[in-house]
Amino acid sequence: MHMFRLLVVIFCYGLFIGTAAGVRVSTRPNVVNIGAIVSFNTSIGKVAKVAIEAAVEDVNSNPAVLKGTKLKLSMQDTKQSSGFLGIVEVLRFMENDTVAIIGPQQSVMAHVISHIANELQVPLLSFAASDPTLNSLQFPYFVRTTQSDLFQMSAVAEIISYYEWRDVIAIYIDDDHGRNGIAALGDLLADKRCKISYKAPMSPKVSRNEISDTLLKVLLKESRIIILHIYATWGLEVVDVAQKMGMMKSGYVWIATDWLSTILDTETSLSPVAIDSIQGVLTLRMHTLDSELKRKFVSRWSNLTSGLFGLNTYGLYAYDTVWLLAHALDAFLNQGETISFSNDSRLTEFHGGNLHFDSLSIFDGGSMLLSSILEVNISGVCGTIKFTSDGNLIGTAYEVINVIGTAGIRRIGYWSNSSGLSTMPPEEFNRQINLSLSNQQLYGVIWPGQTTEKPRGWAFSSNEKQLRVGVPVRISFQEFASLVYGSDVFHGYCIDVFSAAVALLPYALPYKFIPFGDGHRVPIYNDLLQKITTNEFDAVVGDITITTNRTKMVDFTQPYIESGLVVVAPVQKLKSSAWAFSRPFTPMMWFVTCLFFLAVGIVIWILERRTNDDFQGIPRKQFATIVWFSFSTWFTAHREKVDSALGRFVLLIWLFVVLILNSSYTASLTSILTVEKLSYSVKGIESLIISDDPIGYQSGSFTENYLIEELNIDKSRLIPLKSAEEFEKALIDGPNKGGVAAVVDKRAYMELFLSSRCEFGIVGQEFTKMGWGFAFPRESPLAIDMSTAILKLSESGELQKIHDKWLSRQACSSEGAKQDVDRLSLKSFWGLFLLCGLACFVALVCYLVKMIYKYMRHSGRSSQSFVSFIKEKENKVVEEADKSTSNRKRRKRISSGRRLDEDESVNVSNVSTCLCWRSMKHS
């Protein structure tokens, strides 16, 4: 605090010492004093110095900007210092009436000088101070004319999320610039479910030994994603030490903030050692819009610097800062404002002395000039210069660069706050972009170690410690997880799922199973999970149910098996109902079926009556024939023959319908008679709750707490059971003999239990939806990676194969849980009945047409009515007459002596008889 007060005193004294007391007024002055604070010997400072001087010259040579008023620039070199002496050097130029300061370059110095600028109302326009906190309301006179580190860190977080990394390490300088930038990165990573697992701060006056010590600590950490947020002065030194320590090899990822791109753009040549050490590093560079103004300025650059160094983006922003200030001053003067300074009345108490504090002045038009600066909207060499409501420049964008080869620069994409990561420049997006991760895109990267394969992101430290995996030693249901006797080897369903998931991870994961429990008692799973929080285990594998309370201790993976709670009770045999045979069909189904039996019989009788003797006789006999024929088709036992084609067609369709009905009836009746043999004293969890019967549960599981806390069952009713044998005995004994009425446990256990015990069954429905998962420490990246692996196992079918290997059994009793079977209704067979009805209708229509045709032929020879014609038996006289005519013609052809055969003689005789009968009838 004393140091800060001393800085304020010295700054105030040096800023306006020698200024006259009172008020000095000017209309549109010939000269306006501005200052600049730059570190001449840095990559940013030496470029900014040339750019600022060039911009002042260009403004003064352009009468359209300030209309004759000239800018008088006073520039001070901070000599790379951010401490007390550096600030004293900066403030030497403030002996004249200065209306604005371009700078400072460092964020640390900007924090100090901004306090003084607030008091003297002198705007600070910084082209390089990128600390996000400088935008706060605490510093109203600070104007950032470059991009904030908030956006740069957004780009870094987007890259980390794009490559699906979870943990990163941050190396940074421990000052305002470094701390605040990394703090912003941590918040942005948290939004993407990532985190900074280790922070490695370094002193602002870092030495090579400190760099080595810091990197040694980083080397021992598991994460291999390193964010390097440092000054360009020490950046290459850090990377060089990292290479010598083997930290630039395959498997590592280095993401440098824009200090590295600044060096690559500025320095015309780097040493081979430096080039070799930065191979594969990712870095960012502020993206500036390609324009005619920019191309002209870039073409001038070699003449301005004689080719000694290149142009970086900070130089472009420094150039635009001067033009921004010039346009703001022009707007300020055009509004009739004057450049005037007045004494600060609060400093009169310091009257006298050698420091002359009472002579310090305040810029009267400071607030108006600040407003004019924030309202400027011009086109510069960087693109559009315009501020948002929160004081940031619009059009924030970065280029993502992969450092590779001797050229150094290989752009793999862009990031902007409007389009996210993309291979297209942000200005080419002219529509609303979906910023989801699936739409993000970058070109391929050549990583450290000259590999194109994406690094896994983390590894175990150099001591190669194994993952300590706790496994409960079960005394029952050992198909899930069991310890091989006399060894430290585990096998079972849960073990196989874990091993298969580990095999799918994109990195090697050494682990060892550690038993938990004595093998005589069921281990308490909450105690096992507590071992993770005390760092005794790194993970827990087994039949661990995911519950709300447990998720407060550890992180679980995606469930690899669903296993909610069910009720198991003994099965009782019941006598079958005397009318059980009628249950397969609903009453409506029985009615329609019988109706169709009669309908088909009637249709067949109509089609066969005139030509088939089996369907003729007195009315009572014909009715009996219809009924018998109809219902005998159920068994295909009808004795009547069907001669006509239409009759056979209808019968064929109907027999197909009968076949389906018969098969469905048989299957349904079998199921009903089976289910009716099974009954339970307990009907489900509801009846169990309202009763007073004892309930069994598996000792050590969460079931006890669930029944007590969630279902409000008295603890005195609950009986812990250790093994499947105890389950069986307790259920057989029942409540009257010291047993239980039912057992409540997870479905996975109970299905295995019932596979060989048909005297029990699951009652009711599963009344909770839970799953098993593997447990890891809170915020462990393994939980997410293993969840992804489990989903892959499920999608590939491998998870089901493991399930079938260990848990597939013929569960004889579980099928008896269903207390009722749906009866077969008409809606299941209406299509068949419709088909049969259409067949009958078509056959009747065809028969009617046929009869009408025959009647019309017959009506010319008789006055018989159509109804009587239909009723009489089929008359074949005409047909026989035609046959006799044919025979006579044939006899004439063989009159040469061929003898008629017996059949022809019989036919002639029959024809004669028919003709005689016909003539007698007409007479």
- Interacting residues of 761 by C-beta distance below 8 A, sequence separation 6+: 568, 569, 571, 678, 680, 754, 813, 814, 815, 816, 817
Last residue in a domain, options 371, 393, 415: 393
Q: What is the mean pLDDT of residues 675-694?
A: 76
Are residues 215 and 154 part of one domain? yes
**Of the ranges 472-481, 667-676, 818-827, the best mean pLDDT one:** 472-481
Q: What is the mean pLDDT of residues 202-223?
A: 92
Q: What is the mean pLDDT of residues 284-306?
A: 94
Last residue in a domain, options 612, 639, 674: 674
pLDDT of 48 higher than 90: yes
pLDDT of 243 higher than 70: yes
Are residues 153 and 121 part of one domain? no
Are residues 153 and 49 part of one domain? no
Q: How confident is the model at residue 627 (pLDDT cuts 50, 70, 90)?
A: confident
pLDDT of 901 higher than 60: no
pLDDT, tens only, 556-569: 999 999 888 999 98
Residue 874 within a domain:
no
Are residues 384 and 263 part of one domain? no
Task: Please give the Cα distance from 357 to 77 (Å, whole number).
Answer: 25
pLDDT of 490 higher than 50: yes
Percent of the chain with pLDDT over 90: 43
pLDDT of 92 higher than 70: no
Tell me, what's the pLDDT at 348? 59
**Residue 481 DSSP symbol:** S
Percent of the chain with pLDDT over 70: 80
pLDDT, tens only, 426-450: 888 755 455 555 567 899 999 999 9
CB 823 within 8 A of CB 583: yes
Are residues 48 and 87 part of one domain? yes
Give 586's Cβ-side CA count (13 Å radius): 12
Structure-token match 């989903």, residue found:
791
pLDDT of 214 higher than 90: yes
Average pLDDT, the chain: 82
pLDDT, tens only, 731-776: 999 888 889 999 999 888 888 888 888 788 888 888 888 899 999 9
Task: Please give the Cα distance from 276 to 244 (Å, whole number).
Answer: 11
Are residues 198 and 84 part of one domain? no
Q: How confident is the model at residue 357 (pLDDT cuts 50, 70, 90)?
A: low
At 30, is the secondary structure helix, strand, or coil?
coil
Tell me how many degrees the CA angle 584-586-591 measures, rounded to the nearest 5. Answer: 115
Task: Please give the Cα distance from 522 to 511 (Å, whole number).
Answer: 24
- Interacting residues of 832 by C-beta distance below 8 A, sequence separation 6+: 656, 657, 660, 661
pLDDT, tens only, 492-533: 999 999 999 998 887 778 899 999 988 788 888 999 999 999
Q: How confident is the model at residue 879 (pLDDT cuts 50, 70, 90)?
A: very low
Task: Please give the Cα distance from 264 to 275 (Å, whole number).
Answer: 10
The dihedral sign for the CA sequence 769, 775, 779, 780: negative
Predicted model pTM:
0.64
Are residues 275 and 155 part of one domain? yes
Give 267's Cβ-side CA count (13 Å radius): 20
Residue 629 within a domain:
yes
Are residues 180 and 216 part of one domain? yes
Residue 694 within a domain:
no
Q: What is the mean pLDDT of residues 158-170?
A: 92
Q: How confident is the model at residue 577 (pLDDT cuts 50, 70, 90)?
A: low
Tell me, what's the pLDDT at 626? 78
pLDDT of 491 higher than 80: yes
Are residues 163 and 73 part of one domain? no
Count the residues in the chain. 923
Could you tell me which of 323, 255, 240, 241 has the C-alpha nearest to residue 285? 255
pLDDT of 83 higher than 60: no
pLDDT, tens only, 868-878: 776 666 544 33
Mean pLDDT is lowest, of 246-250, 404-408, 688-692, 708-712, for 404-408
Tell me, what's the pLDDT at 502? 92
Last residue in a domain, options 652, 674, 696: 674
Residue type, 708: I
Residue 66 within a domain:
yes
Region of 279 on the Ramachandran plot (φ > 0 left; ψ -120 to 50 alpha; else beta): beta
Residue 313 within a domain:
yes
Residue of 394 and 23 predicted with greater confidence: 394
Residue 217 within a domain:
yes
Task: Please give the Cα distance from 434 to 440 (Å, whole number).
Answer: 9
Residue 200 within a domain:
yes
Q: What is the mean pLDDT of residues 568-585?
A: 70
CB 143 within 8 A of CB 124: yes
pLDDT of 355 higher than 90: no
Tell me, what's the pLDDT at 615? 73
- Please return the burial class of 10, using the count of CB atoms within 10 Å of its CB with bins 0-12, 13-18 and 19+: middle
At 38, is the secondary structure helix, strand, or coil?
strand
Pairing outcome for strands 124-126 and 98-102: parallel
Tell me how many degrees the CA angle 92-98-99 measures, rounded to the nearest 5. Answer: 145
Q: How far apart are the first and last CA of the chain?
A: 148
pLDDT, tens only, 310-325: 999 999 999 999 999 9
Please give the tally of structural domains in the chain.
3
Are residues 45 and 97 part of one domain? yes
Tell me, what's the pLDDT at 500? 95
**Residue 896 DSSP symbol:** T
Residue 602 within a domain:
yes
Are residues 253 and 352 part of one domain? no
Mean pLDDT is lowest, of 228-232, 330-334, 888-892, for 888-892
What CATH number did the domain enclosing 209 receive? Answer: 3.40.50.2300
Range of the domain at 38: 31-144+291-393
Q: What is the mean pLDDT of residues 279-298?
A: 94
Are residues 221 and 340 part of one domain? no
Tell me, what's the pLDDT at 910? 43
Task: Please give the Cα distance from 155 to 421 (Å, whole number).
Answer: 8
